[in-house]
Amino acid sequence: MKKILRSLILTGLLLVAPALLTSSYDKEFEWSKNLEIFHSLIRELELYYVDETDPAKMIRTGIDQIMKTLDPYTVYYPESQVEDIQLMTTGEYGGVGALIGQDSLGVYISDPYEGTPAQKAGLRAGDRIIKVDGKSVNGKTTKDISPMMKGTIGTTLELTVERPMVKGQLTFTMQRDKIRFENVPYFGKLADGSGYIRLTGFTEGASQEVKKALISLKDQGAKGVVLDLRNNPGGLLIEAVDIVNLFVPQGQEIVSTRGKSKMWEATYNCRYQPVDTLIPVTILVNSGSASASEIVAGAMQDLDRGVIVGQRTYGKGLVQTTRDLSYNAKIKLTTAKYYIPSGRCIQALDYTNRRADGSVGHIPDSLVSEFKTKRGRIVKDGGGVMPDFLVEQKSLSGMTSNLYYQNMIFDYATQYRNTHDQIPSPGVFEIKDSDYQDFRSFLISKKFTYATESEDALDDLIKSAKKEKYFDRAQAALDELRSKLSHNMDKDLEAFKPEIRDMLADEIVGRYFYQKGRIQYMLRDDDGLARAQALLANPAEYRKKLNQ
């Protein structure tokens, strides 16, 4: 019998091995063949195409098209853009600390960061860049100007700008410095005694920033903590592990990774002694919470260590690794999926099975599986982290959206800042009725116009009706519908006054108190935060949710 079994196994191996070798050979041959075709194609174009060709541009176009067949997180970086990777991982770069934007009039300062050379020199949001180091930037884009503003630490940058409401041009000279974006731009003790930590990124040192904030809040007497991960796109996986480690014991598994190659399979456990394993924690998330944010929220949920509040998270369960390429280029590519303590992967989109048109669909419900938390609560994979308590996300009216996207809010805040030397603190500042009336006059002076989604949809309906020859019989009804849907700016300004005033105040506060001020102002009326605080104030409800 043993001889027969050995014979069968050997026969099976002899049958399978050629198939495996053939499959590997076929794939290798396909790569070699197509690369040779590609090379000969480029050669023929360069030699015989009627006009001059740009080899670098053509190859880059080819690379970009290859990337589009993969997931959006696999990105090629030529040598000129390698510093972007450094910014993503360390949160640091050499520059002056000012974000820039662009509209039909040119490039402008959109957000100088507090404490940076740009802010200390006196640059303000809304300043329009005219010259960089004495050279005109007329016609240039943000893509052109951004590299000109960055550079070696200690070097000098001279910016000439035009400031609305101020005559003539202003020139600012500043030294480039190491600019580092804080992962925790704000933390503080709230009025009810709970602590609040806003985490906006996961670059190097994020866990230490959260640890410092947590210890400070405990020293101030906070008996519970709200960790705000809303709109946090993620970052370094190890920082996520170390942040969870602040609340759970050393040795606890937080996340594991699995990829096609064994080298990307790993398990990440808590490495240090925690700060506090008992303090109640509520975690705020929304659809903008992704990647490392979802590791923190998902692990805390799986371990029944915190209650999640907000909306379903983005659903990015993929891990990226940076690899070196020739000529100092790099590629950031997806090498693995990650799995949180319950064993689930929260990846929402299936990039391996694209539709015929190239689009990507969500993981179908039929493939969604159930898992259990440490205390037996049911959680699911395949679609982000579902909060323990859902809070409806506020949506903006069409009027307010148009004000924002047409830069009316931004431009009015610029005018306000250049005509008001100071305002009250973020905790008490309000848009007065006189300010709101002034904003209305501002919109009229700018000849602001807009169309609502309903009006756009009606226009599309009318076009379809005309094309299908139904318009004549439906004209009366369509005209009546248009009269009911047509917007009126004054009526809309009144109807949506609360949300428009909030956006105006947020933008204006940012001009005086920068990023910290914006956060402080927005926390004054925050449904998600209110629900998170209510949970911390109700220990019985908190414990019940965690099956404690």
* 53-71 CB burial, b ≥16 within 10 A, e <16: eeeeeeeeeeeeeebeeeb
The token duo for 142 is: 């943000």
Q: Of 211, 316, 332, 516, which is the active-site residue?
A: 316
- Which pair of structure tokens corresponds to residue 510? 């940012």
Element holding 145 (H helix, E strand): helix 142-149
Q: What angle do CA 323, 327, 332 make, to 5 degrees?
A: 25
CB-based contact 163:127 (threshold 8 Å):
yes
Q: Tokens standing for 100? A: 């820039």
**C-alpha torsion 26→32→34→37, nearest 10:** -140
Strands 186-189 and 106-112: unpaired
Which is it for strands 225-228 and 195-198: parallel, antiparallel or unpaired? parallel
* Collapsed DSSP state (helix, strand, coil) of residue 80: helix
Let me know if 441 is a catalytic residue. no
Mark whether 381 is an active-site residue: no
Place of tokens 């790099």: 330
At 139, the amino acid letter reads: G
**Of 291, 332, 388, 516, which one is the catalytic site residue?**
291
Q: How many residues make up the chain in this entry?
A: 548
Q: Are 366 and 360 in contact (CB under 8 A)?
A: no
CB 239 within 8 A of CB 292: yes
Residues 22 and 27: their CA atoms lie apart, in Å, by 9
| Residue of 242, 302, 411, 492 with catalytic role | 302
Q: Where are the beta strands (DSSP E) in 382-424?
A: 389-390
Q: Is-catalytic flag, 291?
A: yes
Non-local (6+) Cβ contacts of 354 within 8 A are: 360
Active site residues: 291, 302, 316
